[in-house]
Amino acid sequence: MAALSVLMSLYIKEKPEYARECFESLLRQTVRADEWVIVEDGPLSDEMYQLLDEYQSRYPGLIKRLQFENNQGLGLALQAGIPECRNELIARMDTDDIAREDRFEMQLSEFEKNPDLDICGSHIDEFEDTPNVLVARRTVPIKHEDIVKYQKKRDAFNHMTVMYKKTAVLDAGNYQMCPLMEDTYLWARMIMNGVQCANVDEALVYARIGSGMFERRGGWSYFKNYKAGQKMVHDIGYTSYAIYFYTVSIQFVVALMPRRIRGFVFKKILHK
């Protein structure tokens, strides 16, 4: 199996107990990564610093920490993290999610089977309190052609599941500032740059959701950022004006509906 880096970003609002669960899931992998690159996006809590120090002490040489003096936002944090990864293959992970034990093994196998593959994700199983009680599953298309088509209207990758080649990300311009849609903007530019895509037809990550997620995905401010992000995707020529208008219109309705109804829509309609 090829060498592998894991790229994660932390900021002050994240919970140390969730990060611990995430880290332990990475250590339980049937094929472990040999490097974790953790971007500290601004000052963190004392508890989070203690957690990072603990894991650095327990696993010398595993963790590389990149520290920002001030919070820069996810796009710039990941942009800085990509060049710091020493391996060609990089796995993204959110520090409040949990990786299935065979996640890396299955994705690395896809890269071995297809040397031209540039990015590979999977479905996700979503949970609120414990991964033993699942709320929903977000499925994504599996084949390259379907991914390219699907990405025009909705994200064809669950961002916390992707494994990609470092050179493919850098050749597409790396992560860039695009509030709420850093990943969407990157996927579009990578596809336009000719990358080969795939998703594993299984849920390889347990993704933590909750009422906070539905609150963050609502309101006028969220809608304005979403619209601005979709405009950036449209402006590079990835989507037509008709598709841009369609996606923005749908999001307008979802963002401004009551939180309880929005939660139902995400769980029962958008994430089945």
Two structure tokens written together for 143: 């084949």
The answer to whether the beta carbons of residues 198 and 107 sit under 8 Å apart is: no
DSSP strands (E only) in 48-92: 63-68, 89-92
The answer to whether the beta carbons of residues 22 and 91 sit under 8 Å apart is: no
Two structure tokens written together for 46: 């004392």
- Comparing 89 with 136, the larger pLDDT belongs to 89
Helix or strand holding residue 28 (H, E)? none
pLDDT computed for residue 255 by the predictor: 77
**Average pLDDT in the 74-92 region?**
97
Q: Could you tell me which residues come within 8 angstroms of residue 88 by beta carbon, excluding any fewer than 6 positions away? A: 2, 3, 165, 166, 167
pLDDT band at 221 (very low <50, low <70, confident <90, very high): confident
Q: Amino acid identity of 232?
A: M
Two structure tokens written together for 257: 């509906």
Convert the pLDDT of each residue in 158-180 to its tens digit: 999 999 999 999 999 999 999 88
pLDDT computed for residue 250 by the predictor: 86
Tokens 């995905």 locate to 217
For residue 159, the 8-state DSSP code is: G
Convert the pLDDT of each residue in 107-120 to its tens digit: 999 999 999 999 99
Region label for 73, one of left (φ > 0), alpha (ψ between -120 and 50) or beta (otherwise): left
Two structure tokens written together for 150: 């699907």
pTM above 0.85, yes or no: yes
pLDDT computed for residue 211 by the predictor: 52
With a cut of 70, say whether residue 213 has pLDDT above it: no
With a cut of 90, say whether residue 219 has pLDDT above it: no
pLDDT computed for residue 254 by the predictor: 75
Can you tell me the distance from the alpha carbon of 63 to that of 38, in angstroms, rounded to the nearest whole number?
A: 7
Please tell me the class of the 4-209 domain: alpha beta
Average pLDDT, the chain: 92
pLDDT computed for residue 114 by the predictor: 97
Can you tell me the distance from the alpha carbon of 90 to that of 18, in angstroms, rounded to the nearest whole number?
A: 22
Can you tell me the distance from the alpha carbon of 226 to that of 219, in angstroms, rounded to the nearest whole number?
A: 11
Instruction: Specify the 3-state DSSP secondary structure of 57.
Output: helix
Q: Amino acid identity of 253?
A: V
Tokens 């060609």 locate to 88
pLDDT band at 32 (very low <50, low <70, confident <90, very high): very high
Domain ranges of the chain: 4-209, 215-270
Convert the pLDDT of each residue in 181-206 to its tens digit: 999 999 999 999 999 999 999 999 99
Instruction: Specify the 3-state DSSP secondary structure of 265.
Output: helix
With a cut of 60, say whether residue 215 has pLDDT above it: no
